[in-house]
């Protein structure tokens, strides 16, 4: 019989986990020791727990597999609350493993270090952030508890929480049962598919919007197949930007409501039957549409159910629903107004000052030459700028919108996929988690980081012009790269940016930090439309 820690690791591996991100602490030391000596999954340590959570999140988004974030009790786990909350909101299957006090340790009447109010304060907090939890304090049932929690993680594609008392890590437990795929109601999937197909056929402007669940449940190819049969315009949600990249589906673009390109918004808002597959119905995905999407004529397949107008089919797996649609779909041949994304043109390599749109142009130029790289983006204008990078795999916190994801998320992508990522981040977010780049050398990671340095919390300035606290000092980040084990490039002109990108791409020996100096107030076209939209909506509501 395996010991408890080993049983957890074997079950994780059996369910597809490829690695563990973590930071140890004394309550977690016994688990970490077994993690290393058992050699079941590789361990990547980072510097601060938020980085651990973001790295695991980035890994899961790219691989569509379980990711693992391992921390110690209290000071460690509570440091990771925000990334776990984001993973919950944005549906990433992250397994949080926390060390915990041993069974006898609570009995001596003293407060234990790292304890908040009660010994189970952390448990209560994580209950709110995860979709299933287990405290593995009973070796007789641990195998079933581990399977229950890990299976839920995959079924719901949301974080789960496992707490391991430090004195039990080597206690023998029964082998964990194999993964049990979800069943779903196939009859409901069939009826839903038929109703939706007939609604689509009756519509004059049917359209498809693809959201993150398509990636989470690994069915982008099926969605592409369905789109190819139906021949209707295809869009992605804001969160889903980067989905269907390289899938040979003519993509009209990414829906951003009034912040988006008008022809893409028209496809969605003028549709009389919008089929949303795996789309998170959030304000960032829909809010700036000013209520223009008519949900009574829309179909929303999400979180294990299919909503058709005002009724819904429960217990329908997205995969089954799409399979049933593929089986019976007929071409509708309503290609719609636009089948290709608008181009922003090539970068002019001259001595002009940089604008965010030049960064999009420069990256498009690089990808055209060398092929696309997997991307992560932080929150801020870098993410809005990414909307003008040709549709390329992109993971970003477009809904929960935490800062700090970009750099550690990208490291997670490289750890989990072995692919060299391109990371977009602003100076504000870089100050939070950019230092995790110092861990690249240890693991041979060599991301290219494009740091949008406008010496501001520029996006906040956009929401609330005026206050001086939006100004950030110029820390000369590129100069710090050498000390962290990478190479820095500070660029202020379009020609310098193009050269730095090429040099960075050619130098695979270490991470590359391209610090793109941007004037305050220079914002991407999308952020500008976003601002205009918000202003005109708030003006309308004040009338």
Between the alpha carbon of residue 523 and those of residues 70, 352, 384, 452, 520, the distances in Å are 38, 16, 9, 11, 8
- For the CB of residue 243, give the shortest distance to ligand PPY in the complex, in Å: 5
Are residues 422 and 375 in contact, defined by beta-carbon separation less than 8 angstroms? yes
For ligand PPY, the closer CB: 30 or 211: 211
Q: In what order do the strands lie in the sheet with 206-210?
A: 251-254, 234-236, 206-210, 273-277, 298-302, 305-308, 311-313
Q: Which stretch binds Mg ion (CB under 5 A): 119-127, 286-294, 398-406, 421-429?
A: 421-429
Site string for Mg ion, 452-481 (x = CB under 5 A): --x-x-x-----------------------
| Size, binding site for ligand PPY by CB under 6 A | 13
- Residue 283 has a CB neighbour count (10 Å cut-off) of 10
Q: Are residues 50 and 397 in contact, defined by beta-carbon separation less than 8 angstroms? A: no
Least Å distance, CB 492 to Mg ion, is 15
- What does 378 bind: ligand PPY, Mg ion, none (CB cut-off 5 to 8 Å by kind)? none
In whole angstroms, give the CA distance from residue 73 to residue 105.
Answer: 13
Provide the pairing of β-strand 512-517 with 311-313: unpaired
Q: Does 385 bind Mg ion (CB under 5 A)?
A: no
Give the residue at shortest CB distance from Mg ion. Answer: 426
Distance between CA atoms of 436 and 430, rounded to whole angstroms?
10
Residue 3 binding partner per list Mg ion, ligand PPY, none, with a CB distance cut-off of 5 to 8 Å that depends on partner kind: none
Residue at token pair 């809005």:
384
Q: How far is the CB of 60 from ligand PPY (least distance, A)?
A: 9
Segment contacting ligand PPY by CB under 6 A, of 172-180, 339-347, 391-399, 445-453: 391-399
Closer Cβ to Mg ion, 419 or 520, answer by number: 520
Using DSSP bridges, classify how beta strands 512-517 and 448-453 pair: parallel, antiparallel or unpaired: parallel
Q: Pick one of 395, 432, 440, 518: the residue that binds ligand PPY (CB under 6 A).
A: 395
In the list 69, 293, 394, 423, the residue contacting ligand PPY (rule: CB under 6 A) is 394
Residue 51 beta carbon to Mg ion: minimum distance, rounded to whole angstroms: 19
What is the distance of C-alpha 235 from the center of its chain? Answer: 18
Residue 62 contacts residue 405 (beta carbons within 8 Å): no
Does residue 242 belong to the site contacting Mg ion (CB under 5 A)?
no
Q: How far apart are CA 268 and CA 207, in angstroms?
A: 7
Using CB under 5 A, which of 101, 260, 404, 426 touches Mg ion? 426
Q: Residues 516, 359: contact at Cβ < 8 Å?
A: yes
Q: What is the C-alpha to C-alpha distance for residues 209 and 253, in angstroms, rounded to an integer?
A: 10
458 interface partner picked from Mg ion, ligand PPY, none, CB below 5 to 8 A per type: Mg ion
Per-residue binding string, ligand PPY, 83-102, x by CB under 6 A, is: -------x------------
Residue 242 near ligand PPY by CB under 6 A: yes
Query: What are the strands, taking DSSP E only, across 166-219?
Result: 206-210
Contact range with ligand PPY by CB under 6 A, out of 124-132, 234-242, 250-258, 319-327: 234-242
Binding site for ligand PPY (CB under 6 A): 61-62, 90, 212, 215, 239-240, 242-243, 393-396
């Amino acid at each position: 019989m395996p010991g408890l820690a080993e049983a957890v690791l074997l079950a994780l591996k059996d369910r597809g986990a490829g690695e563990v991100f973590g930071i140890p602490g004394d309550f977690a030391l016994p688990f970490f020791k077994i993690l290393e000596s058992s050699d079941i999954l590789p361990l990547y340590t980072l510097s601060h727990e938020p980085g651990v959570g973001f790295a695991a999140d980035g890994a899961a988004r790219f691989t569509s597999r379980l990711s693992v974030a391992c921390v110690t009790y209290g000071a460690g786990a509570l440091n990771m609350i925000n990334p776990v909350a984001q993973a919950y909101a944005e549906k990433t299957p992250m397994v949080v493993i926390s060390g915990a006090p041993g069974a006898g340790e609570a009995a001596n009447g003293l407060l234990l270090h790292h304890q908040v109010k009660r010994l189970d304060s952390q448990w209560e907090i994580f209950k709110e952030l995860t979709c299933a939890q287990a405290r593995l304090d009973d070796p007789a049932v641990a195998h079933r508890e581990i399977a229950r929690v890990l299976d839920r993680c995959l079924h719901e594609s949301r974080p789960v929480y496992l707490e391991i008392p430090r004195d039990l890590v080597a206690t023998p437990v029964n082998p964990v049962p194999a993964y049990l795929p979800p069943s779903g109601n196939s009859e409901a999937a069939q009826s839903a598919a038929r109703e939706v197909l007939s609604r689509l056929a009756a519509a004059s402007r049917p359209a498809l919007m693809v959201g993150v669940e398509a990636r989470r449940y690994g069915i982008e190819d099926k969605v592409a197949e369905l789109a190819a049969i139906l021949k209707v315009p295809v869009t992605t949600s804001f969160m889903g930007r980067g989905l269907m990249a390289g899938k040979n589906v003519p993509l009209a673009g990414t829906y951003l409501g009034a912040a988006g390109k008008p022809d893409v918004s028209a496809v969605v808002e003028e549709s009389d039957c919008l089929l949303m597959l795996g789309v998170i119905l959030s304000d960032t995905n829909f809010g700036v549409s000013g209520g223009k999407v008519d949900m009574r004529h829309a179909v929303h397949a999400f979180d294990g159910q299919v909503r058709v107008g005002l009724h819904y089919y429960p217990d329908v797996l997205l995969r089954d629903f799409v399979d049933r649609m593929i089986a019976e779909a007929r071409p509708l041949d309503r290609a719609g107004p636009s089948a290709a994304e608008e181009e922003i043109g090539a970068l002019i390599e001259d001595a002009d000052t940089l604008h965010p749109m030049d960064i999009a142009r420069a990256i498009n130029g690089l990808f055209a030459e060398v092929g696309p790289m997997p991307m992560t983006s932080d929150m801020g204008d870098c993410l809005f700028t990414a909307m003008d990078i040709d549709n390329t795999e992109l993971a970003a916190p477009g809904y929960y919108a935490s800062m700090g994801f970009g750099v550690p998320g990208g490291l997670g992508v490289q750890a989990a996929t072995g692919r060299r990522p391109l990371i977009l981040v602003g100076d504000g977010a870089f100050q939070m988690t950019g230092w995790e780049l110092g861990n690249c050398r240890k693991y041979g990671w060599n991301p290219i980081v494009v740091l949008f340095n406008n010496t501001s919390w520029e996006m906040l300035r956009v929401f609330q012009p005026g206050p001086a606290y939006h100004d950030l000092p110029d820390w000369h980040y590129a100069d710090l790269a050498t000390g962290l084990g990478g190479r820095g490039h500070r660029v202020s002109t379009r020609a310098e940016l193009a050269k730095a990108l090429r040099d960075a791409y050619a130098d695979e020996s270490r991470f590359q930090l391209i610090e793109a100096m941007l004037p305050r107030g220079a914002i991407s076209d999308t952020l500008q439309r976003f601002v205009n939209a918000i202003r005109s909506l708030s003006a309308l509501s004040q009338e």
